Structure formats: C-alpha cells, structure tokens
Structure 1
Amino acid sequence: MITTAKRLEIIEEYYFSSKLREVRQLASEGKPIINMGIGSPDLKPSQAVIDAVVLAMQEENAHQYQSYQGLPELRQGMADFYENNYGVDLNPNTEILPLMGSKEGIMHISLAFLNEGDQVLIPNPGYPTYTSVTNLVGAVPVYYDLKEANNWEPDFEALEKLDLSKVKIMWMGYPHMPTGARGSLQLFEKLVAFAKKHNILLINDNPYSFVLNDNPMSLLQVDGAKEVALELNS
C-alpha cells in the first residue's frame, strides 16, 4: 500500500460525518431523532430558481470552463448585495471571490497565510472545520473560550494575556454557531482593533446574518476592517 502523507496522521474523521453515522444508527434502531447536526434545507428551491437553473444550462457557453474568479455579473451581484444589505462598498474585481462553500475558503485562506508552526485562534465552541484545516496545514490551534456569562463573546483580557507572537489568523463568526449569539458592531470594532494591534488576520464566518435577525451585520462595516479582515458569506 502506498504510504500516505504524514499530515494525515493528525487528521481525524470529520465531526459531522461521525455524528451523522450515529444518527443513522439510532434511526435504524427506531429511536425518535431530531437531527440538529447540519443546517441542510428541508424545503426544495422555488420553481423560479429551478427554472433559472434550467435556463442557465441552455446558455451557449454553459458547457465550457468558467472564469477562475466567477462571472463578472455574479461578482457585481455580490457587491450589490453587500451595498444594499450592509452598506459596505466592495470592488467586484478585486475584493470578491465566489467559492464552492466555506470549507473551500477556509482551506485556501489557511494555505495562503499559514506556515508550519504558526498559531490560529479558534473559538470554543465553534465550527470544527477551523481546527481540521489548521491541523492539515501544519499550524497550531489555540482555543479561546466563549462563555454565556460574557454573552458568548471573546474575553479580550484573557486574550491579551496569551503569547500572541506566533498567532497569524483568528477565526470568528457572528451570529455565532452553535450558540446563536448575534454579536454587535461594538464587538466587531473591538475585534478589528485587537487584530490590528497584534497583526492578526481576522476572518468572520458570516452565513447566518439573516437568520431570525432584523439587523444583519458585516465585519466589513467597521472602518479599517479591510486592512486586517476577510469575510465568508453565503
């Protein structure tokens, strides 16, 4: 058998993969299961969406390789979305990149910025993929606790006591998964200031800003955030 790369020795099965297997086993035993593992849609797309997909497949160039940066019209639509919903001005040519999903973004960002031995601040609790990808690229996870007593927000006093000299990336995400904490612009301002102070790339994983929320926010609303921050959205 061909020997695999050493990095695979520290990679475990994806958290949700093992949990979903447990769910299937319990269901097969007749147990009543409410699956809260992955937010997979339980409603099919509207007919208008289905019609648009069918129409797109009939376009003259639909069978060809697409642009590496995504269609200009798509990137412009994303820029318009940010302007209309967050009041954030983004250049569709230089500040937006369509992805297949957040996992792709997490991997590419980590590959682009992390060297072996660099440290990464990861929220606890938080999305398991942050840890998986950090380990995969040879970096070191450093967990910062989110506690209910602090509204599930970072404890900046505790963070300042850490040796941050090797920290390159800090992952965050509000509205937060799995606690549901919404965060605030004041929190975002503190996070941007913290990232600037310690020369850390701050990344907001922001797929839930419109879920049960009348006040959607973006980290990029903070003045100067673009100097130290990226945001994933969907």
Structure 2
Amino acid sequence: MIATADRLKTIEEYYFSRKLKEVRKLMADGRPVINMGIGSPDLSPSPEVLRTLTEAISENGAHQYQSYQGLTELRQAIADFYLEKFNVTADPGTDILPLMGSKEGIMHISMAFLNPGDEVLIPDPGYPTYMAVTRLVGATPVTYDLKEDQNWFPDLEQLARQDLSKVKLMWVSYPHMPTGAVASEKQWKALVDFAREKQILLVNDNPYSFVLGTNPKSILQIEGATEVALELNSLSKTFNMAGWRVGMVLGKADHINAILKVKSNMDSGMFYGIQKGAIAALKSGKNWFEKLDKIYEARRQHMFELATLLNCTYDPRAVGMFVWAKLPPGAPPAEEFIDQILYEKDIFIAPGTIFGSNGEGYIRFSLCVKTEKIEEAITRFKNQK
C-alpha cells in the first residue's frame, strides 16, 4: 500500500462518520433507531427557493463554470441580509465571499493565514473541525476552556496571562455550538479588544443565530471588528439547505482576498441554480423565521421532557437546534451513557466528549427530529417505569 501523508496521522475519522456506520448497521439489522445526534435539518427549503432553483436550471449559461466569487446578485443579497438582520454594512464587491458551506471556509481561512508552527486558539467544547483542520495545515491547536459556570464564554483575563506570542488565529462560535450559549455585546467587545491587543485573527462561526434566537447578533456589529475579525455564516440551518452547501465569509477586503486566493486554487464557483435559490432564501420574510421557530420550539419542549426523563438538566434559554444537557450525578461517562441508550432503547444521542474534554458529563440532542419521533422516544423511556 502506498504510504499516506503524515498529516493524516494527526487526525481521526470524523466521529459522526464513524458512529453513523454503526447506527446504519443497527438499522439494516431491523432495529428502529431514532437518530437524535445529527444537526441536519429534516425540513425543506421554502417553496419559493425550490421554485427559483427549478426555473434557474433552464436559464442560459446555468450549467457553465461560475465565478469563484459567486454571482454579483448573491453577494448583494448577502450584504442586504447582513444589513437588515445585523445592521452590518459590507461591500458586496470586496467584503463578502460565498462558500460551498461554511465548513469549506474553515479550511480556506486556515490555509490562507496559518503557517506550520503557528498556534490556534480552539474552544473546548467546540466544533471538532477547528481542531482537525488546524492539524491538517500543520499549525498547533491550543484549546481554551469553556465552562458552564461562565456561560460557556472564555476567561479572557486568564488567556491573556498565557504566552500567546505564536497564536495567529482564534475560533469562536456564538451562538455557541454545541451548548447554545449566546454572547452579549459586552462580551463581543471584549473578544474584539483581546484580538486587537494580541494581534490575533478572530473568526466567529455563526450559523445558528436564526434558530430559536430572539436577538441575532454578529461580531461585525462591534466597532472596529473588521480590522481583526471574520465571520462565517451558512444557509444550512436557517433555511433548511444543508445539502445545498451554501455558506459565506465576511470581513475586510484584504482578508477576503487572501481567502479567495486559496479558494480559487482549490474549487470552483457554486452551481448557478443553487446560487439563485440562495438569493431567494436570503430574501425570505419574517413569516419564514416565525414558522421555523414554531416548529423547533414545539420539538424543543418535547426534547426537554425527554432530557428530564433521563434526569438531565439543561438551560432553557439556550438557542440553536440542539439541547445541551448535563448528565445526572453518578451517571457513567458520556460515550458509555449514549451507547447504553442506543443498544437498550434504539435512540442515538451525541456524547458531549466529541466536542472536547469539557464535554464530558454532557450529551447533545438534535432538534432535527420530527415531533412524533421524539414522542416515540419519550414513550420508550416511560414504558420502562
């Protein structure tokens, strides 16, 4: 066998990729598994989005290569969306780059700004891809603690006392994944000030603002943030378009141009029809968001009931499409706990440990599960009592 690159020794197969093989095997064997582990929206995009996509595929030039920077109209729609929803002004010609999902952006940003040996501040718990990509590009991950008693926000004073001379980039994600914690304007400002003082590029990964979030925020709202910050966003959760792979990064022109250099050498522009559908999605009115939240709120209430049946505790104020729950005292480790439920009750829940060591003692429920399936899961536990 041809030897693989050394970089592969620094990472493992993504947990969900590995675990879902196990779950699919159980289902193939006839087990009625209810999957509450994955944040993949089961709802559809709006009829207007689907209609726009269908009509666009017949337009002249629809099947040709597209611009690496996306359609002018798409960048304008992103700019309009950010102005309307966040009161953030971004020049669609220089400050916005559409992406094939924000996960792509994590790699592109890392390749654009990190050299081997550079250090990267990564939240624990946090999205596992930050760690994996950092290692893949040869940089060094440095985790920073997020704890429940600090509402999952970093202790910046403690961080500032560390040797940060090699730190080039810091990942944050608010609303936070996986906990659903939100950051206040004061906290945003503290992050921006910290990044400016330490000369660190701050990247906020922001795909969950519009799922059960009453007051969506962007780090780019903070005065002077664009000098040190980028923001990733995505249509996956907000508009039920996860499989479409539509994301974006916003920031000042110099930073965006650096990312474009990487993107233009690694992939091509998005399919024309997908871009047109994305434009339609970004123009969605208030009714769309209200309808989405009504569905997720109903599901969340049922998920709270299920968490309570498991003697878990949770923060009812958290936002996003997950319920982050603390295991009861005396419970087994998180991965053992969820495996027990998987094999005894045919229910898959994500263990908190896949998001970092501070996720031990927690589990995460996804709201991408129909209400009747959550009710069925509740019944499975009630029947044992």
Q: Into which bin does the TM-score normalised by the smaller protein fall?
A: over 0.9
CA distance in 1, matches of 2:36, 2:131: 21
Point out the more displaced range, 73-82 or 4-13.
4-13
Partner of 2:60: 60
TM-score where L is the length of structure 1: 0.95
- 2-structure distance, mates of 1:149, 1:30: 42
In structure 2, what is the equivalent of residue 232 of structure 1? 232
Q: 3-state DSSP class of the match of 1:97? A: strand
- How large is the Cα RMSD of the aligned pairs? 1.4
Distance (whole Å) between structure 2 residues aligned to residue 130 and residue 29 of structure 1: 35
Where do 4+ consecutive residues of structure 1 move more than 6 Å? none
Kept in 2, the 8 Å contact 1:19–1:37? The answer is: no
Which residue does 1:80 correspond to in 2?
80
Q: Which position in structure 2 is the counterpart of 1:22? A: 22
The residue number in structure 2 matching 1:170 is 170
Give 5+ residue unaligned stretches, structure 2. 235-385
1:1-234 alignment runs, 5 A limit = 1-28=1-28, 33-234=33-234
- Residue 26 of structure 1 and its aligned partner are, at CA, apart by 4.2
1:203–1:230 Cα contact (<8 Å) kept = yes
Contact 1:20/1:37 (8 A) holds in 2: no
Amino acid at match of 2:174: Y
Q: Distance in 2 between matches of 1:227 and 1:20?
A: 41
Compared with structure 1, are the counterparts of its residues 58 and 202 closer, same or farther at alpha carbon in structure 2 (3 Å cutoff)?
same
Q: Percent identity?
A: 66
CA shift at 1:29, angstroms? 5.5
Alpha-carbon distance change, 33 to 160 in structure 1, aligned in 2, over 3 angstroms:
farther
Cα distance change on mapping 1:144 and 1:57 into 2, 3 Å: same
Q: Measure how far apart 1:35 and its partner are.
A: 2.5
- Alpha carbons of 1:36 and 1:166: their partners in 2 closer, same or farther (altered >3 Å)? farther
- Displacement of 1:9: 1.9
Gaps of 5+ in 1: none
CA distance in 2, matches of 1:107, 1:88: 25
Q: Give the secondary structure class of the aligned counterpart of 1:4.
A: coil
Asked if the contact 1:207/1:232 (under 8 Å) is kept, the reply is yes
TM-score, structure 2 normalization: 0.59
Question: In the superposition, relative to structure 1, how do residues 26 and 67 fare at CA in structure 2: closer, same or farther (>3 Å)?
Answer: same
Deviation of 1:15 after TM superposition, in Å, equals 2.1
Structure 1 residue matching 2:120: 3-state secondary structure: strand
Deviation of the 1:194 alpha carbon: 0.4
Higher RCO (CA 8 Å, separation ≥ 6 residues): 2
More helix, by proportion:
2
Aligned equivalents of 1:225, 1:78: Cα separation in 2: 18
Which deviations, in whole Å up to 9, do the C-alpha atoms of 1:67-112 show, x marking residues without a partner?
Answer: 1100000000000000000000000011100001112100010001
**Cα distance, 1:24 vs structure 2:** 2.4
The answer on whether the counterparts of 1:205 and 1:232 sit within 8 Å (CA) in structure 2 is: yes
Find the residue that maps to 2:96 and give its secondary structure. Answer: coil
2:220 maps to a residue whose letter is: L
